[in-house]
Amino acid sequence: MNTHSMIRSALAVALLGSCLSAQAKVSEAEAARLGQDLTPIGAEKAGNADGTIPAWTGKWLGTPPHVQFAGPGTPYPDPYADEKPLFVITSTNMELYAAYLSDGQKALLKRYPKSFRIPVYPSHRDFRVDPELEQLIKRNALNASLSENGYEARNAWGASPFPIPQNGNQLILNHTMQGRAYTEEANYIQTVSYSDGNRAIDKVNYKIQSIWSNPKQSPEGANGIFTNFMVTNLEPVRKKGEIVTGHEFIDAFSQPRQAWQYAPGQRRVRRAPTVGYDSPTGAGGFRTYDEDRLFNGSPDRYDWKIVGKRELFIPYHNYRLDAPDVTTEQILATTGHVNPDLMRYEKHRVWVLEGNLKPGTRHIYAKRVIYLDEDSWSATMADNYDGRGQLWRTNMQTSIYAYDIQRFHARLGIYQDLIAGSYLVDRLLDDQKPALLNVSKWSDDMFTPANLRKLGTR
């Protein structure tokens, strides 16, 4: 099936979905497609017509046989380390590949004509996720439905709720509720590089506990909690010791995120100010809270629609950025954007999801276009527009397949301000030490204001 046929097909699905009740489930016959013409998580199994996107094989579960991986907390070796780019897209040849570029990528090529480029490597679809996640997705396909308000999933657990999405609200929930690592602990660096050469740098310790993704948990035991989090500031000095902890809930609209903050200067714990939607966060207050992993939190402020499916060159298998011999300075060596020599792009099919700000609501972005990888349900690129309809920011989420957890794992988040010429890189590894995934064990009271008070008195 060619690209235009796929787009027409996806549009037909979207139009059909808009005519159905928001609560409609797929039939048993539709769900039976998972593992047949669809992969176990809902992607098209077949490759594309010209072979530039291969058929899904899922031949590797965990560490590939030719890779030496030392285990949790150690670097993930690149399974495709010997490959070279098939070609490189630049400002001078971009028109040849325009059909496979997002508007944001085209804007970056024009904004930085001498330095920004897109090295395109062979595409691979070799990894599969753990059997537990596949089973949860199949169960969700048969049971999950949208809430009456359309912002939350009902009768779903542990994985993307709608592997055969019928409308935009289902599609955005597939991204925000996908199964990930159930614990993540790391020291990350967030760096804003400004057009004048200056930088704002934060170093933070992340502790993330996903109740939703833990195979030992259940809906009854979760008590409505989706994720617990604790972020401790390590640098700069003026922010050192600040801690924010809290909970995100499965019903993100009905139960907004709760958070508490410890301020060393005041030596007290207080309820954190708004930690959602377009509140600024991170180094330099550069990105919004709901831009983590390109979108998170409640989807209620936007009207979401499925535009269709496209074949695009997207960041994929980005192991090189985490290699032990690569430094933060090398990653940030280029003015205006990440060093393109360390990036890897592959052609994949993506769902194109458009969100338009609802009348009477507010957000700094009036329109968002999000591109979701069909093989993981992860947002991989996002174009964000201001109130005048101008493309303002374009963002990328790099990723790897983490061998130890047998799931895809988000790596560097890259946020580009096309107007100011500045950019943020989030989740840079401190001294290239990888995150500990599914290793940490925390008690139930770890992420509470009471524990925050104890930590503040030490």
Nearest to 153 by CA among 246, 223, 228, 254: 254
Query: What burial class does residue 154 get, using C-beta atoms within 10 Å of its C-beta: 0-12 exposed, 13-18 middle, 19+ buried?
Result: middle
d(CA 234, CA 203): 5
pTM summary value: 0.93
Specify the pLDDT at position 16.
39
CB 313 within 8 A of CB 345: yes
212 touches 223 (CB < 8 A): no
Rg (CA), the chain: 21
User: Which residue carries 């194109």 as its tokens?
Assistant: 352
Which residues are 202's β-sheet partners? Answer: 190
Nearest CA among 77, 115, 161 for reference residue 402:
77
Residue type, position 363, single letter:
H
Rounded Cα gap, residues 417 and 436, in angstroms = 31
In this prediction, residue 444 carries a pLDDT of 81
The residues with which 369 forms a beta bridge, in sequence order, are: 354, 383
Q: Which two tokens stand for residue 75?
A: 């670097």
CB 413 within 8 A of CB 428: no
| Per-residue confidence (pLDDT) for residue 458, from 0 to 100 | 56
pLDDT, one tens digit per residue, over 218-265 is: 999 999 999 999 999 999 999 999 999 999 999 999 999 999 999 998
Q: What are the φ/ψ torsions at residue 402 (nearest 5 degrees)?
A: -90, 115
pLDDT tens-digit map of 40-52: 999 999 999 999 9
Q: What pLDDT, on a 0 to 100 scale, did the predictor assign at position 137? A: 97
Asked whether 340 and 77 are in contact (CB, 8 A), the reply is no
pLDDT of residue 24: 59
Which portions of the chain are predicted below pLDDT 70?
1-24, 457-458
Structure tokens at 294: 């390109």
Q: Extract the tokens encoding 219.
A: 């809906």
Q: Cα-flanking dihedrals φ and ψ of residue 266, to 5°?
A: -95, -15
- Using CA atoms, how far apart are residues 370 and 382, in angstroms rounded to an integer? 4
- pLDDT, residue 457, reads 63
